[in-house]
Amino acid sequence: MKTITVFKGDGIGPEITDTVIDILKAAKAPLEYECFNVGAAEYERHGALVPDDAFQSFEKTHILLKSPITTPIGTGFRSINVMLRKKYDLFANIRPAKSNTAVKTPFPNVDLVTFRENTEDLYAGVEEKISDDEMHSIKIITRHASSRIIRAAFEYALSHNRHKVTCVHKANIMKLSDGMFLSIFREIAKEYPQIESDDKIVDNTCMQLVMHPENFDVMVMPNLYGDIISDLTSGLIGGLGLLPSMNIGSDYAMFEAVHGSAPDIAGKHIANPTALLWSACMLLEYIGETDTAKAIRRAVDDVLAEKKYLTPDLGGTAKTEEYRDAIIAKF
Ligand code: NAI
Ligand code: MG
């Protein structure tokens, strides 16, 4: 038995978390759960976004399954997501996007993985008000953070039988910051002669991704491009409801769906829990429970292929609970 920490979040967070835990239990995943409410609702209840015992649990288990948390815009309320990634140095944000034959999109052959640097770039939070009419946000790129995310991408390519790593950048304009990222990429690529490598400018990458997504394999990039490109890749495979992620550092690992708290559909029982469920599968694989992960993935694939219990984001009419029960019935 392995104990994991679970943050329930807000919006659709609590409902998809309960759904995923029901499925993990039905699949007999050898896990114990320490669950915590976090986010805006918890702030209103107890005055802290993340209660101290929630942090303490993660510091003990080192593994976190996290559901989405609302980040109000323009309140000075710092994103918990950005804070967690920085506090626990979760430097690699890994987002695999793979077409599923059950979900019809114009792009049937997508199978790519985004490696997003998670700790710096324009998300470092270095902002300055120069005057009422001028604001600066500073883009920070360091050799240390760039090297470790690029190396992580090549190591992943090696261990997952991937053939190519593409560096995504805007070094033609940001010659110093992205220029250094690209030159580090080229240096590290030489250490992996068995893996093909190339680079693309980020705007061209967007166009190529929607014209020929099958040409991409592993992609590595600074934080901001990774945020945007990985949402784009979720569109290629049928929407945010299907894109899982893991955020790993040297000591801690956090698994979460790429989507947010979807306040527009919260409480309506129509949220698609698949992205969080696949994130839980990545968690199981990370701790070596590959058979349980495989069983869950197979059950999900079967239910999606039958198309009888699809949630509305995938063109169906099923409630979250009906989709959950259809998956559980496969075990
Ligand atoms: P969002 O991802 O929550 O929603 C975008 C659209 O996709 C909405 O129409 C929503 O209904 C739909 N959607 C998202 N997840 C879905 C699911 N599982 N099933 C069915 N439909 C789904 O993005 P939005 O609206 O920009 O952000 C809402 C809040 O979430 C914001 O406060 C944002 O800061 C926060 N957020 C939190 C994240 C996290 O905790 N990791 C990540 C992204 C956003
Ligand atoms: Mg995002």
CB under 6 Å to ligand 1: residues? 12, 68-71, 81, 240-241, 256, 259-265, 271-272, 275, 313
pLDDT at 82: 78
Residue owning the nearest CA to atom 26 of ligand 1 = 260
Q: Do 134 and 193 fall into the same domain?
A: yes
Once rounded to an integer, what is the mean pLDDT over residues 249-262?
Answer: 94
Label residue 74 by pLDDT band (50, 70, 90). Answer: low
Residue owning the nearest CA to atom 23 of ligand 1 = 260
Higher pLDDT, 104 or 146: 146
C-alpha of residue 299 to centroid of ligand 1, in Å = 25
Once rounded to an integer, what is the mean pLDDT over residues 175-182?
Answer: 98
Label residue 240 by pLDDT band (50, 70, 90). Answer: confident
Q: Do 278 and 325 fall into the same domain?
A: yes
Structure tokens at 237: 């495979």
Once rounded to an integer, what is the mean pLDDT over residues 103-113?
Answer: 92
Q: Do 43 and 159 fall into the same domain?
A: no
Share of the chain above pLDDT 90, in %: 83
Q: Do 37 and 84 fall into the same domain?
A: yes
Residue owning the nearest CA to atom 12 of ligand 1 = 262
Q: Confirm whether 281 is domain-assigned.
A: yes
Please tell me the number of the ligand nearest to residue 247's CA: 1
Select from 236, 269, 295 the last residue of a domain: 236
Q: Do 327 and 263 fall into the same domain?
A: yes
Q: Do 228 and 244 fall into the same domain?
A: no
Q: Confirm whether 100 is domain-assigned.
A: no
pLDDT at 73: 61
pLDDT at 76: 57
- What does the pLDDT look like over 9-41, one tens digit per residue? 999 999 999 999 999 999 999 999 999 999 877
Residue owning the nearest CA to atom 34 of ligand 1 = 71
Q: Do 90 and 163 fall into the same domain?
A: no
C-alpha of residue 191 to centroid of ligand 1, in Å = 39
Ligand 1 atom with the smallest distance to the CA of 68 is 40
Q: In what order do the strands lie in the sheet with 2-7?
A: 31-36, 2-7, 63-66, 253-257, 244-248, 92-98, 111-117, 218-221, 164-169, 196-201
C-alpha of residue 308 to centroid of ligand 2, in Å = 30
Q: Do 88 and 198 fall into the same domain?
A: no
CB 135 within 8 A of CB 122: no
pLDDT at 49: 85
- What ipTM was assigned to the predicted interfaces of this complex? 0.97
The answer, yes or no, to whether residue 328 has pLDDT greater than 90, is yes
Find all residues with CB under 8 Å of 107, minimum gap 6, and list them: 99, 210, 213, 214, 236, 237
Q: Do 67 and 140 fall into the same domain?
A: no
Once rounded to an integer, what is the mean pLDDT over residues 260-277?
Answer: 96
- CA count, 13 A, side-chain hemisphere, 62: 8
Question: Taking the model in full, what pTM does it have?
Answer: 0.89
Label residue 70 by pLDDT band (50, 70, 90). Answer: confident
Q: Confirm whether 203 is domain-assigned.
A: yes
Q: Confirm whether 258 is domain-assigned.
A: yes
Please tell me the number of the ligand nearest to residue 95's CA: 2
Tell me the best of 73, 261, 323 to mutate to test the pocket of ligand 1, counting ligand atoms within 8 Å of each CB and taking the most.
Answer: 261
C-alpha of residue 214 to centroid of ligand 1, in Å = 26
Q: Do 43 and 65 fall into the same domain?
A: yes
The answer, yes or no, to whether residue 42 has pLDDT greater than 90, is no
Q: Do 214 and 244 fall into the same domain?
A: no
Q: Chain-wide mean pLDDT for the chain?
A: 94
Select from 191, 219, 236 the last residue of a domain: 236
Q: Confirm whether 296 is domain-assigned.
A: yes
CB atoms within 10 A of CB 204: 11
Ligand 1 atom with the smallest distance to the CA of 312 is 20
Of the listed ranges 61-75, 163-177, 305-319, the one predicted with least confidence: 61-75
In total, how many domains does the chain have? Answer: 2
Q: Confirm whether 99 is domain-assigned.
A: no
Select from 201, 236, 271 the last residue of a domain: 236
The CATH number of residue 301's host domain is 3.40.718.10
Label residue 286 by pLDDT band (50, 70, 90). Answer: very high
CB 216 within 8 A of CB 204: no
Q: At what angle do helices 13-26 and 320-328 cross, to 10 degrees?
A: 10
Which range is most confident: 66-80, 101-115, 265-279? Answer: 265-279
- CA count, 13 A, side-chain hemisphere, 89: 7
Once rounded to an integer, what is the mean pLDDT over residues 108-130?
Answer: 94
Residue owning the nearest CA to atom 5 of ligand 1 = 262
Q: Confirm whether 140 is domain-assigned.
A: yes
Q: Confirm whether 101 is domain-assigned.
A: no
Q: Do 118 and 150 fall into the same domain?
A: yes
Of the listed ranges 231-235, 293-297, 324-328, the one predicted with least confidence: 231-235
Residue owning the nearest CA to atom 4 of ligand 1 = 262
The domain of 130 spans 106-236
